[in-house]
Amino acid sequence: MTETWGTDTELQAARSRLAAGIQGYVEPAAFSVARIDGATLAYGHINKPGGIHRLPAVVLASICGYSSTTGVFRLSRDDLVSAIELLTPAEAATHMDHPNLWSWRELMKGTTAESEFIAFFVADLADTHVNDNDSEFRRLIGP
């Protein structure tokens, strides 16, 4: 039987279990995923400060290697597929929306095995920008 997380208690338990598996995990101030389309980035749901979806954050962190330090993490198509599969049980919670999961699936449309993605994690808004992609992401999340 496939695991589902249909209640708030089950969602919290899943988040806690995944976070416990990441040494030193610190909930980010902001995060997102983007598909690399040539010289541009196509973003999934952007989790801005104050609007963080905690379970998708820890799911993505468990795939890309984020724990507590602001960073930009390269993801393969298979990595994003793994994140989608790991988060899918949350859809059983029909009393809430799942914008991260839905947008990650949208990002997958039309991709190939060579498609690449970037995960953005901002641990603290005061952190120095990591690179140009991080600077672009910071503009999207606001001051």
The tens digit of pLDDT for each residue in 56-91 reads 999 999 999 999 999 999 999 999 999 999 999 999
Amino acid 3 reads E
User: Residue 31: which H helix or E strand, with range?
Assistant: strand 30-37
Domains of the chain in sequence order = 26-141 (3.30.70.2010)
Residue with tokens 């602001």: 70
Question: Within a 10 A sphere around the Cβ of 142, how many other Cβ atoms?
Answer: 10
List for the chain the helix, strand, coil content (%; round to 5): 40, 20, 40
Mean pLDDT of 22-36: 97
DSSP string over 45-68: --B-TT---HHHHHHHHHHH--SS
Give me the pLDDT at residue 56, please: 98
pTM of the predicted protein model: 0.94
The tens digit of pLDDT for each residue in 101-138 reads 999 999 999 898 889 999 999 999 999 999 999 999 99
φ, ψ of residue 102 in degrees (nearest 5): -65, -40
